[in-house]
């Protein structure tokens, strides 16, 4: 499985070849760097650690700054995640990944944090119907009875009640890729995705409809690693 890290820019619309309006979400995925490569021999599992999101070094801990420096990445990356992958051929520490890993017609899974809704009642949070709104009704949008009187004399665990809503980790499966632009580092997918504008997301090859793909390095990257990247790779071996 391959993937990318990115940021939700916002939604817009495009028109297909038949002139139909298609709502799309724009994702900024550049630059996305390889910050670590996990191997079964050393770590017990195989994965690729990616980093995204330029920030200031003073906003990160010293451990994160040292980890990025060891990988040969000069920028202070705020968003770091791992993606399990059985194939890591062609990857090296500090390499910048290309959005051309996903092209028009591909299907991807996008994971993000949903929008926070604050404290909400049972009607909005769980879809309760509520009571009558006629004159004299005292039901309204209340939850109603939540337990028994004397037996068992308590509320069962898991009862649907009012509470905090949103800020959950949500994965939207089988998102259709409309277009990808390597020059601008932009990925365009059909429909909406979880999270607010500016939220970080994890993009993976679709588990259900995805095709077998390999990692691709950005075209601006040279075929040979820089001295800092070579030193970082020699230290990890």
CATH number of the CATH domain containing 96: 2.40.30.10
pLDDT at 1 over 60: yes
What's the structural domain count of the chain? Answer: 1
Q: How far apart are CA 146 and CA 137, in angstroms?
A: 19
The whole-number pLDDT of residue 126 equals 95
Per-residue pLDDT tens digits for 108-132: 999 999 999 999 999 999 999 988 8
What average pLDDT does range 192-209 have in this prediction? 95
Within a domain: 94 = yes
Question: What is the value of pTM for the model shown?
Answer: 0.86
Per-residue pLDDT tens digits for 68-123: 999 999 899 999 999 999 888 889 999 999 999 999 999 999 999 999 999 999 99
- Determine phi and psi for 185, rounding to 5 degrees: 65, 35
Within a domain: 152 = no
SS3 210: coil
Pair of tokens at residue 80: 């770091």
The whole-number pLDDT of residue 233 equals 55
Within a domain: 221 = yes
pLDDT over 90, % of the chain? 66
Q: How far apart are CA 81 and CA 50, in angstroms?
A: 6
The whole-number pLDDT of residue 89 equals 82
Pair of tokens at residue 17: 């070849």
Within a domain: 29 = yes
Within a domain: 93 = yes
The whole-number pLDDT of residue 47 equals 94
Per-residue pLDDT tens digits for 27-42: 999 889 999 999 999 9
pLDDT at 188 over 60: yes
Within a domain: 151 = no
Pair of tokens at residue 5: 């890290």
The domain in which residue 21 lies consists of 3-131+161-236
Within a domain: 147 = no
């Amino acid at each position: 499985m391959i993937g990318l890290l990115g940021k939700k820019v916002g939604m817009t619309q495009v028109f297909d070849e038949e002139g139909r309006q298609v709502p799309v979400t724009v994702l900024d995925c550049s630059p996305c760097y390889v910050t670590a490569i996990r191997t079964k021999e050393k770590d017990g599992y195989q994965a690729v650690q990616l980093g995204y999101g330029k920030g200031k070094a003073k906003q990160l801990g010293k451990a994160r700054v040292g980890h990025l420096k060891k990988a040969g990445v000069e920028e202070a990356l705020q968003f770091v995640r791992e993606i399990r992958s059985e194939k890591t051929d062609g990857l090296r520490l500090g390499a910048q990944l290309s959005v051309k890993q996903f092209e028009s017609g591909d299907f991807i899974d996008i994971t993000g944090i949903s929008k926070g809704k604050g404290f909400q009642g049972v009607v909005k949070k769980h879809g309760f119907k509520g009571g009558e709104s006629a004159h004299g009704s005292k039901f309204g949008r209340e939850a109603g009875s939540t337990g028994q009187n004397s037996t068992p004399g308590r509320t069962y665990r898991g009862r649907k009640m009012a509470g905090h809503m949103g800020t959950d980790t949500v994965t939207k499966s089988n998102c259709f890729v409309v277009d990808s632009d390597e020059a601008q580092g932009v990925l365009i997918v059909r429909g909406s995705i979880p999270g607010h504008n500016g939220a970080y997301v994890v993009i993976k090859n679709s588990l259900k409809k995805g095709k077998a793909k390999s990692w691709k390095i950005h075209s601006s990257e040279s075929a040979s690693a820089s001295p800092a990247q070579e030193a970082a790779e020699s230290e990890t071996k």
